[in-house]
Amino acid sequence: MPNKKTSIPFVKTMEQEEKLKAVIDAHKGQTGAAIQVLQEAQNIFGYLPEEVQVLVAEGLGVPLTEVYGIASFYSQFTMEPKGKINIAVCMGTACYVRGAGDILDDISKHTCCKSGGITPDGKISIEATRCIGACGLAPVLTINNDVYGKLNRGEIESVIDRYIDEEAKKEAGI
């Protein structure tokens, strides 16, 4: 089973597990149940680690390989957790030709986090995405739910540092 383990331990609450059980019960026996349950599971847990895939497979009574196959095939599913600061750099054509690749490299260096990865403390994650439909603002990136466009390489580090500072203040209760 080529399921990848991240350095961030998976932690679930009873409430999350109960929600997933209810979703499984609602879809069990239906055609295409696995994909629907995985979508709901990702909404509940934020991502689909192996532990969640096992719960889905056992709950639906289907092989884990089938669940893993779906989770790894469809791009809307992720098996990696997201950081408290999730940076998504659009690598669609319009953004790519305006330097999104260099921006992604700069961000990786600045945060010590690889594209598709998460820092060991779970604070920052970086992903490369497809076109998000804001090509007029290329190059575009999002940080959590905020969209930034027409950024140049020099501006990005200070934008990210603002989020890091805000996160540090939240943690310190300031």
Nearer to ligand FES, 61 or 133 (CB): 133
Q: Which of 95, 103, 151, 160 binds ligand FES (CB under 6 A)?
A: 95
Pick the piece of the chain touching ligand FES (CB under 6 A) from 39-47, 65-73, 89-97, 161-169.
Answer: 89-97
Nearer to ligand FES, 37 or 91 (CB): 91
Q: Is 147 within 8 Å of 157 (Cβ atoms)?
A: no
128 binds ligand FES (CB under 6 A): no
Contacts of 59 (CB under 8 A, 6+ apart): 20, 21, 24, 25, 28, 37
| Tokens at 101, concatenated | 């690749």
Nearer to ligand FES, 93 or 144 (CB): 93
87 binds ligand FES (CB under 6 A): no
Residue list 25-64, contact with ligand FES (CB under 6 A)? none
Query: Residue 117, Cβ neighbours under 10 Å: how many?
Result: 18
Nearer to ligand FES, 116 or 120 (CB): 116
- 87-101 b/e (C-beta count within 10 Å ≥ 16 → b): bbbbbbebbbebbbb
Q: Is 118 within 8 Å of 85 (Cβ atoms)?
A: no
Q: Which of 59, 81, 83, 92 binds ligand FES (CB under 6 A)?
A: 92
Single-letter amino acid, residue 83:
G
Binding flags for ligand FES, 140-159, as an x/- string (CB under 6 A): x-------------------
- Tell me how far apart the alpha carbons of residues 62 and 123 are, in angstroms, rounded to a whole number: 34
Instruction: For residue 139, say if its preceding peptide bond is cis, omega within 30 degrees of 0.
Output: yes
Nearer to ligand FES, 54 or 135 (CB): 135
Shortest Å distance, C-beta 137 to ligand FES: 7
Number of residues that bind ligand FES (CB under 6 A): 12
Q: Is 112 within 8 Å of 99 (Cβ atoms)?
A: no
Q: Classify strands 124-129 and 85-90 as parallel, antiparallel or unpaired.
A: parallel
Residue ranges in contact with ligand FES by CB under 6 A: 90, 92-95, 131-135, 138, 140
